[in-house]
Amino acid sequence: MRRSLLATLLLAALVLPACLPRATTRPPPPSLTSVADALFESVESEGTLASVFMVDAATGAPLYARHEHVRLLPASTMKVVSTSAALSAFGPDFRFHTPVRLEGTQLGNLFLGDLVVEASGDPSLGSWRFPETAMACEQLAEALHARGIRQWHGAVRVSNADEGPYGLFGPGWAWDDAAYAYSAAPTPFVFRENVVDLSLERPEGQDCTSQPRRPVVVRYTPAFDAPPTVVYFDPNAQRPGLGCVRERSTGRIRCVWRSTAEQCPRKASMRVAIDEPQVLFTSCLQEALAVRGIWRVPTAPQTASVPAVTTSEPLLEFVSPSLAELVKVTNKESLNLYAERLGLRFTRERMGTESYPALRDAMAQELTRRGISTRLLRAADGSGLSRYNVATARGLVGVIYTSLKEPYATALLESLPIAGVDGTLASTAVSNGTRGFIRAKTGTLSGQKAYVGIAERPNDPEHPRVVFALMLGNIDEQPSLTANQVFERFAEAMVSLPLR
């Protein structure tokens, strides 16, 4: 009897589970790792190269890695390297000082001689971006007026302005980039960011379907001795716009003014780079002098009454905004000229000279100091325009991570654009939960896109802040996901998802 009962119980135990309904298998919840793996597998299936690295901002512990040693073009993320190097050498409070002196003789209200500006490499002199730099010509004219000078026979000279044997542009810059305002030459003397405003105006009553019967009005602001400007018209463009470049062979400005059947604007404008900032500075000063009633003749009279002995006296000193402010506009707005000047000024501080070969050596030494191998990151210029720059996601993360350990960390961090808020990330389509939690520098060249920065993880007490770099190369012209969409999805995962 007992054996029969035991056998029945055992049989029931075996049969019962088969009779119960089976539990439904649920997919695991999404994590940063699973979402990122699927995202990058998708873009790699189209032939795009993806290099990604993410570490804890406090400890440096790796949290996500994918092809992090692959070398790609960093583009404008190289600005993080040059600005952090400048901050490490000079500190956030550093300011450029550009002295101006009078060399000659003052006879009553007449000054016979030259006004000499000592080039300091300040990229902001005369810039419209800062109140203290925008009025440089007016300040100088006022200083001359305050000395009682009402007539000036002489010239403007700039000392220490020789760009050396390496020319006006960086190594590996594309020839068709060099014609545009975003690659204005990083000369030792910079004025108004080495650009002018060019505006065109069609004759009254002239339509867009034919060449104007009367000349187009061409204006440069500030006014200066501009090169010849040739305007071509494209009445069948897909969208209206104006494009102007400097022809390297002739020096003239060549513009193409595009219009459509629906849109035929009478006016158009843009910025154009110039190669001789001293000429622009002289013209600007001439206007300011005229406002104050100071008459200038470019050359001093050669007469016996001119004293043979001249003196050199300081007149004033232009002082730039702080380096922290310069770094902020450099990275927020991705200003190539500022990045080049800061990189070259850092090079002069470390190597005693300004040249691109010296910049490469100075940056290599700085990266070695931080424990970053040149196999991971190699700088050829300061802005990222050079196609000779080489970087990996691991190397770029190393720059941010080591910078967070140094006294200038706050200045560099505050210079990075905030996703969905400002700078080059202002238009990024991030979710409300991500907005304000990503600070990153972007970089773009043909077929290349890079992002490097910091992400806050408010729901992760173990890793509340991470440093990341995302580099995409060999991007198709019409990918399933644009580079910005890839970044936006990765950014949201960094902020909101658990690591695993």
List, as one string, the DSSP characters of 283-306.
HHHHHHHHHTT-EEESS----TTS
The per-residue pLDDT for 78 is 98
Per 3-state DSSP, the chain is made up of helix, strand and coil in percentages (nearest 5) of 30, 25, 45
Return the structure tokens found at 493: 């995962």
What is the reported pLDDT for 163?
62
Mean per-residue pLDDT, 27-35? 90
pLDDT for position 11: 46
On the CB side of 245, how many CA atoms lie within 13 Å of its CA? 11
Most confidently modeled of 23-32, 90-99, 235-244, 253-262?
90-99
pLDDT for 416: 98
Examine the pLDDT at 164 and tell me if it is beyond 70. Answer: no
> Residue 347, class by beta-carbon neighbours within 10 Å (0-12 exposed, 13-18 middle, 19+ buried)?
buried
Q: How confident is the model at residue 2 (pLDDT cuts 50, 70, 90)?
A: very low
Q: Is the pLDDT of residue 16 over 60?
A: no
| pLDDT tops 60 at residue 4 | no
- pLDDT tens-digit map of 206-224: 766 666 667 788 898 888 8
Can you give the pTM of this predicted structure?
A: 0.89
Confidence of residue 488 (pLDDT cuts 50, 70, 90): very high
pLDDT score recorded for residue 429: 73
Tell which residue, 297, 317, 306, has the closest CA to residue 149.
297
Q: What is the pLDDT of residues 402-440, one digit of tens each?
A: 999 999 999 999 999 999 899 999 988 777 778 899 999
Q: Is residue 6 predicted with pLDDT exceeding 50? A: no
Q: Which pLDDT score, from 0 to 100, does residue 245 have?
A: 81
Q: Write down the H helix ranges in 46-97.
A: 78-90
Name 148's Cβ contacts closer than 8 Å, sequence gap at least 6: 106, 108, 109
The answer to whether 196 touches 280, Cβ cutoff 8 Å, is yes
Mean pLDDT calculated for residue range 293-309? 69
> Average pLDDT over the chain, rounded to whole?
89
Question: Average pLDDT, stretch 189-203?
Answer: 91
Q: How many residues does the chain have?
A: 500
pLDDT score of 213: 65
If pLDDT is split at 50, 70 and 90, which confidence band does 156 have? very high
Task: Report the alpha-carbon distance of residue 16 to residue 37 in Å, rounded.
Answer: 41
Q: Contact, 250 vs 277, CB < 8 A?
A: no
Tell me the pLDDT band of 14, cut-offs 50, 70 and 90: very low
Nearest to 199 by CA among 263, 271, 134, 128: 271
Phi and psi at residue 456, to the nearest 5°: -90, 140
Name the β-bridge partners of 100: 117, 316
Q: Supply the pLDDT for residue 306.
A: 54
Q: Is the pLDDT of residue 10 over 90?
A: no
Q: What is the pLDDT of residues 331-377, one digit of tens each?
A: 999 999 999 999 999 999 999 999 999 999 999 999 999 999 999 99
Residue 9's pLDDT band, with cuts at 50, 70 and 90, is very low
Pairwise CA distance, residues 232 & 360, whole Å: 41
Q: Residue 284 carries which side chain, given as an amino acid letter? A: C
Residue 303 confidence (pLDDT) above 80 = no
Answer for the pair 438, 491: CB distance below 8 angstroms, yes or no: yes
In DSSP terms, which residues pair with 113 in a beta bridge? 104
Residue 21's pLDDT band, with cuts at 50, 70 and 90, is: low
Q: Average pLDDT in the 253-271 region?
A: 85
Q: How confident is the model at residue 299 (pLDDT cuts 50, 70, 90)?
A: confident
Is the four-CA dihedral 384, 386, 392, 395 of positive or negative sign? negative
Gap between the Cα atoms of 456 and 491, Å rounded: 10
Q: pLDDT, tens digit, for every residue of 97-150?
A: 999 999 999 999 999 999 999 999 999 999 999 998 999 999 999 999 999 999
Q: So what's the pLDDT on residue 489?
A: 93
Among 84-88, 165-169, 210-214, the minimum mean pLDDT is found in 165-169
Write the DSSP assignment of 222-234 as a string of letters.
Answer: S---PPPEEEEEE
Residue 159 has pLDDT above 60, yes or no: yes
Given pLDDT bands bounded at 50, 70 and 90, which one contains residue 307? Answer: low
Written as six digits, the tokens of 192 are 């108004």
Summarize the confidence of residues 398-403 as an average pLDDT.
98
Where do runs of H (alpha helix) occur along 20-163? 32-44, 78-90, 131-134, 136-146
